[in-house]
Amino acid sequence: NTPLAEADPEVARIIEHEKYRQFAELELIASENFTSQAVMEANGSALTNKYSEGLPGARYYGGNQYVDQLERLCQERALAAFKLDASEWGVNVQPYSGSTANFAALTALLQPFDRLMGLDLPSGGHLTHGYQTDKKKISSSSIYFQSMPYRVDSESGIIDYDRLEENAELYRPQLLICGASAYPRDWDYARLRRIADKHGAYLLCDMAHISGLVAAGEQESPFRFCDIVTTTTHKTLRGPRAGLIFFRRREGEDKKESLEARVNQAVFPSCQGGPHNNTIAGIAVALLQANSPEFVQYAKQVRANTQALAKRLVGHGYRLSSGGSDNHLVLWDLKPVGLTGSKFEKICELANITLNKNSVCGDKSAVTPGGVRIGTAALTSRGFKEHDFEAVADFLHATVELATELQREAGSKLLKDFVAAAAKSDKVAALQKKV
């Protein structure tokens, strides 16, 4: 039982550095959050030692009496956090991550080469929603299934539901996927349900980014309209890194053909082996925390902070995709100021601001994205309020001004020349100190 610092000082040092980096930087990556001490304790517990293939009460290994209790508790808390009735919804809490949850859901719903439609990645969708380019099938969701994406309108940045409906008429998908990684607006689930019903398709929502807001009643709930809802647990929900799959139950259904049976079979044995019980413990803790008045307050603050950030950026004269945000993120179009998302991400990193480059509406290619994605969930967990996010917007504005100046001075369009100039700049060092 030697402590980590003694047993492996090298790894211990790396962890300490990362801890300090998380503390010192302005963390604006929209998919990240700071989970609680309690979640981290559960996640780092002795549960990591246990094998428990199967489901509570039906395992392939002995010694699972406590793991069974834990998994049942986690399931109950998952339904409670999203205000779901156990007679209408069930949940599988074993997926290792959002990507494996999504692949298991596709495995449950579709046959190989069936047709699905999801939001295209350059429009804000996730890889696992059928991503492919003109030249290549990138994701297993486009390799094993056929995919025809829908997109946002290139002017407004809002999903082009009319076009989606027209294309669905031609493509007749078996599955319609909603949910996104970089979409600042809420969804028209009712319309998506109508489109899915026209073609006898399933409707799946991947609410990974917004699940904390959904739990708190700060975004419309996809559960009213969808057959399956997947989520990661580590974004706005503020848990450990993992995934969940919720499935709808139907009265009088044949148990063997039910979504429950198909989802459970798809997770194990089709896509995964033994569940990560330490992670399931972390999820259970996070779900308890998410089902509280404090968490509702947190989610409200996340949205208020995003509004404050958006308003200040627009006040500085910048363009946001779709003009603003309904949730925890903004998509900032940097094309009008002549910067690429890649350059801005790099200079922000040098200034201790962590965010990521992202395609924004009107981009010609996802390889050189024209903007960045900024999320407020992590810093809100650290207690940031609206005025703090106005200060963040001011730092970002100062960084844009510095970046445009450096780009002029570097006299080159190349990212590496720009980064070299920025790394040597006293002004960037001064900005980093201020941040």
**Shortest separation between residue 206's beta carbon and ligand PLP, angstroms:** 5
Interaction of residue 128 with ligand PLP, rule CB under 6 A: yes
Active site residue 382: no
Active site residue 194: no
Outline where DSSP puts E strands in 58-142. Answer: 58-59, 89-92, 115-117
Give the interface segment with ligand PLP, choosing from 95-103, 255-263, 303-311, 391-399 (CB under 6 A).
Answer: 95-103
Q: Which residues of 53-86 are buried (b: 16+ CB within 10 A; e: fewer)?
A: bbbbeebeeeebeebbebbebbbebbbebbebee
**Comparing C-alpha atoms, which of 68, 84, 27, 71 is closest to residue 238?**
27
**Shortest separation between residue 234's beta carbon and ligand PLP, angstroms:** 7
Active site residue 388: no
Active site residue 363: no
Interaction of residue 232 with ligand PLP, rule CB under 6 A: yes
Distance CA 164, CA 151 (A): 8
CB-nearer residue toward ligand PLP: 218 or 388: 218
> Which of 27, 206, 227, 345 is the binder for ligand PLP (CB under 6 A)?
206
> Which of 26, 31, 118, 332 is the binder for ligand PLP (CB under 6 A)?
31
**Shortest separation between residue 180's beta carbon and ligand PLP, angstroms:** 6
- Residues within window 241-270 making contact with ligand PLP, judged by CB under 6 A: 241
Interaction of residue 43 with ligand PLP, rule CB under 6 A: no
Q: Which structure tokens are listed for 296?
A: 């509702």
Q: Which structure tokens are listed for 70?
A: 């834990």
- Residues within window 320-379 making contact with ligand PLP, judged by CB under 6 A: none
Q: Strand 243-248 relative to strand 146-147: parallel, antiparallel, unpaired?
A: unpaired
Among 231, 232, 306, 399, the active-site one is 232
Q: Which residues of 152-170 are buried (b: 16+ CB within 10 A; e: fewer)?
A: bbeeebbbbeeebeebbee
**Shortest separation between residue 326's beta carbon and ligand PLP, angstroms:** 16
Among 72, 241, 311, 335, the active-site one is 241
Active site residue 380: no
Question: Quick one: 3 exposed, middle or buried, by C-beta within 10 A (0-12, 13-18, 19+)?
Answer: exposed
Interaction of residue 212 with ligand PLP, rule CB under 6 A: no
Interaction of residue 126 with ligand PLP, rule CB under 6 A: yes
Among 27, 71, 206, 227, the active-site one is 206
Give the interface segment with ligand PLP, choosing from 72-80, 142-150, 204-212, 366-374 (CB under 6 A).
Answer: 204-212
∠ Cα 293 182 431 (to 5°):
85
Distance CA 138, CA 124 (A): 16
* Residue whose structure tokens are 């996010």: 389
> Which of 209, 276, 319, 328 is the binder for ligand PLP (CB under 6 A)?
209
Q: Which structure tokens are listed for 80?
A: 């409670």
CB-nearer residue toward ligand PLP: 289 or 356: 356
Interaction of residue 238 with ligand PLP, rule CB under 6 A: no
CB-nearer residue toward ligand PLP: 381 or 407: 381
CB-nearer residue toward ligand PLP: 42 or 245: 245
Among 53, 68, 390, 417, the active-site one is 53
Contacts 24+ apart (CB under 8 A), 418-424: 418/343, 418/346, 418/347, 419/343, 419/346, 419/347, 419/350, 422/346, 422/347, 422/350, 423/350
Helix axes 277-290, 65-81, angle to 10 degrees: 30
Among 115, 193, 235, 346, the active-site one is 235
Interaction of residue 407 with ligand PLP, rule CB under 6 A: no
- Residues within window 167-196 making contact with ligand PLP, judged by CB under 6 A: 179-181
Q: Which structure tokens are listed for 263?
A: 């989802």
* Those residues with Cβ within 8 angstroms of residue 31's Cβ, 6 or more apart along the chain or in another chain: 181, 208, 209, 232, 234, 235, 375
Interaction of residue 141 with ligand PLP, rule CB under 6 A: no
Residue whose C-beta lies closest to ligand PLP: 98
Interaction of residue 98 with ligand PLP, rule CB under 6 A: yes
CB-nearer residue toward ligand PLP: 129 or 346: 129
Active site residue 300: no
Peptide bond into 369 cis (omega under 30): no
> Which of 208, 392, 403, 431 is the binder for ligand PLP (CB under 6 A)?
208
Distance CA 423, CA 126 (A): 32
Give kind and range of the element (H or E) at residue 185. none
Active-site positions read 51, 53, 206, 232, 235, 241
Contacts with ligand PLP by CB under 6 A lie at 31, 97-99, 102, 126, 128, 179-181, 206, 208-209, 232, 241
